[in-house]
A and B are shown apart, each in its own frame.
Chain A
Amino acid sequence: MKQASTLWLGAAMTAFGANSALAQEAVSLDEKVNQTFAAFTGPFVSLIFAPFPGTSFPWIVMWLVVAATFFTLYFGFVQFRFFKHAIQLVKGDYSDPNDAGEVSHFQALATALSGTVGLGNIAGVAVAVGIGGPGATFWMILAGLLGMASKFTECTLGVKYRNEYPDGTVSGGPMYYISKGFDELGLPGGKILAVLFSVFCILGALGGGNMFQANQAHAQISGIVGDYPGWITGIIFAGVVFAVIVGGIKSIANVTEKVVPFMGILYVGAALIILLINYDKIGWAFGQIFGGAFTGLGVAGGMVGALIQGFKRAAFSNEAGVGSAAIAHSAVRTKEPITEGFVSLLEPLIDTVVICTMTALVITISQQMIMDPATGNYVLNEAGTAVATVNDVSGVALTSAAFAAGLSWFPYVLAIAVILFAFSTMISWSYYGLKAWTYLFGEGQTSELVFKVIFCVFIVIGAAASLGPVIDFSDAAIFSMAVVNIFALYFLMKLVKSELHSYASRLQSGEIRKFSD
């Protein structure tokens, strides 16, 4: 495998005329890209992650937590009350057989999940646990459970206010429900907010949905075949993505869409095997998670550090409140928009509560994070910014090392999974970004081509830049979407509540009933 990858890389290097001089030049090119990128994005990142005065707590994290908690209370713990109903909807129990052939609830959920399950679950969790310690997992799970209500709200609105065109195609998402919903309520500023959301959605697509993916895919490949310039990975990835989104080579996307779910199952299966092998440590690992959640166990920033990391990475992973899922879920064909809201609340559960927790447990159990046996606290790295790890690894490399401690061959599978996850997330986000782009600039071949080319250029930048600036910009871009989206959701949530009341009463009276036997 390693040999094959090296050969493949060698061929790629030859194709790009790589020699030592070029490689040196390339390294400096990577540095230049990195410096320029960091300088450009710095002020934006600082604004989004500005802490509350006198604290180190970023206001954006509070923004997401408060919203998720508020929606949970406002809708009376909808994520728990309608959990069983959500499963029944996904199974198709309430689907009209006459609608067969339309997008099913399962398909909308699977498509949205393929956009969210990815590097956030593998690399993002490692970043959270690496900085915030195992305690970050507790806050991540809590954020996942609360985030289910945010997702429910935005996806219901996504279907309710989507655009349906005469040719039968649909476009939906926050930009549509913000402008239409505000108009319906007679509120001013809907159009401005929709435009603002679209701008941030384009940045989010280029950041978290693109650069972060390319960056970590490169980190994973170079971890196996040895270090080489990031722009080479970037160009290869950009070429394949270009072939799919511009060249219309659907077969690549189709294969990915079919393989990715199996990679997801394989990933969870491998994590389960490691947990089963180390079943005697599971109790200890949960002890670390709960203990660390409230004490910090000596990690950077203590309990608050764990909480910030947990919430940040959960939001980045499951995108609850961000608005991206509303774009994916809006394609479903249903007479009851709220049913898609119920289905969508499963997304943070699968993504964060199940998959992220698996990753965090494996990392904790693997003991790749160095602990002081005397105090039982984690040892910080030299800079004091994160927990020190064996071989000084972070991000996806930490996850890879943790899995390798249990299953030595797994890094190879993980490398393939990372590449496929990165690719599928890029394809999903290219669509989200495109929808925002066409909302701003109108639908048309030239307009769409411009966005797609920009998207591909950012893949190269993402692969060439170092993790720090990329992850900062990716977070900031994704979270900036949540600023506008959640602000609008506070005004629009009463529309969802009336839908919920109506649906719940009809469900109880038997007016809405199962179609299946």
Chain B
Amino acid sequence: MPTKLLIGLDGEGSGDRALTHAKRLAGLIGECEIVVAYVIEWSPFSFQTAEENAKRHQRREEELNLAHSRVVDPAVKQLVDEGYVASGVVKHGDVAETLNKIAVSCGAEQIVVGRSSEGGFSQRLFGSSTGNLVMHASMPVTVVG
């Protein structure tokens, strides 16, 4: 059974660095499958207008398609073209919590993510997704700088 690595992408440069590192790890491990994940930040406890609710399903489909076509599918294609075994997944939810859930459900040995490059007040106050993942993950997490 191949070792599984879960790579969390964010559509930014840090995600690309995580992907590069994951490829290196996969090469070292040997029989390895890379699962590329992208989580669309979403909370079931946010407030929306009635009109937004009525169009939510449509928006959700658009968000999933966009994340697949712009981030996950190109990354998976690149991995497959380079000879790796890879698959992709896009989910809505809290980034840290959802990445951990995906990793647990697919039986990953490790999560690889990029160090979030964004700063700002909210991150100082509430912490970044990467920071939250490191604190709460059920498995080893590699943060690529």
Contact = CB atoms under 8 A, between A and B. Distances in A.
Interface of A: 92, 95, 97, 100-108, 110-111, 114-115, 167-171, 253-254, 257-258, 260-261, 327-328, 331-333, 427-428, 431-432
A331 B57 CA distance: 9
B108 to A, nearest CB: 17
B40 interface: yes
13 contacts: A101-B93, A104-B45, A106-B45, A107-B53, A110-B48, A167-B58, A168-B61, A170-B57, A253-B49, A254-B49, A258-B47, A331-B54, A428-B49
B49 to A, nearest CB: 5
B122 interface: no
Contacts of B44: 92, 95, 100, 104-107
Given A115-B50, A331-B53, A169 B42 contact: no
Contact of A108 (B53, B57, B60, B98): B53
Contacts of B82: none
A102 B57 contact: yes
A260 B54 CA distance: 20
B46 interface: yes
A277 to B, nearest CB: 31
Given A100-B42, A101-B91, A257-B48, 7 more contacts: A97-B93, A101-B42, A107-B48, A331-B53, A331-B54, A428-B49, A431-B51
A95 B43 CA distance: 13
Interface in B65-122: 91-93, 98, 101
Contacts of A427: 49
B58 A169 contact: yes
Task: Pick the most buried of B48, B49, B98: most chain A CB atoms within 10 A of its CB.
Answer: B49
A168 B56 CA distance: 8
B55 interface: yes
Contacts of A332: 53
A145 B4 CA distance: 54
Task: Pick the most buried of A97, A327, A331: most chain B CB atoms within 10 A of its CB.
Answer: A331
Task: Pick the most buried of B50, B56, B57, B101: most chain A CB atoms within 10 A of its CB.
Answer: B50
What 3 A-B pairs have minimum CB-CB distances, sorted nearest first?
A101-B92, A104-B44, A168-B58
B63 interface: yes
Contacts of B91: 100-101
Nearest to A92: B44
Nearest to B101: A97
A89 to B, nearest CB: 11
Contact of B93 (A100, A114, A115, A432): A100
Nearest to B61: A168
Nearest to B48: A107
B58 A101 contact: no
Nearest to B92: A101
B57 A432 contact: no
A332 to B, nearest CB: 8
A257 B57 contact: no
Task: Pick the most buried of B51, B61, B63, B98: most chain A CB atoms within 10 A of its CB.
Answer: B51
Contacts of B64: 101
A102 B63 CA distance: 11
B57 to A, nearest CB: 4
Nearest to B53: A331
Contacts of B45: 104, 106-107
Contacts of A333: 56-57
A171 B54 contact: yes
B42 to A, nearest CB: 5
A331 B49 CA distance: 11
A102 B60 contact: yes
Contacts of B42: 100-101
Nearest to B57: A168
A427 B92 CA distance: 27
A427 B55 CA distance: 16
B55 A169 contact: yes
Nearest to A162: B54
Contacts of A169: 54-55, 57-58
A331 B56 contact: yes
Nearest to B50: A431
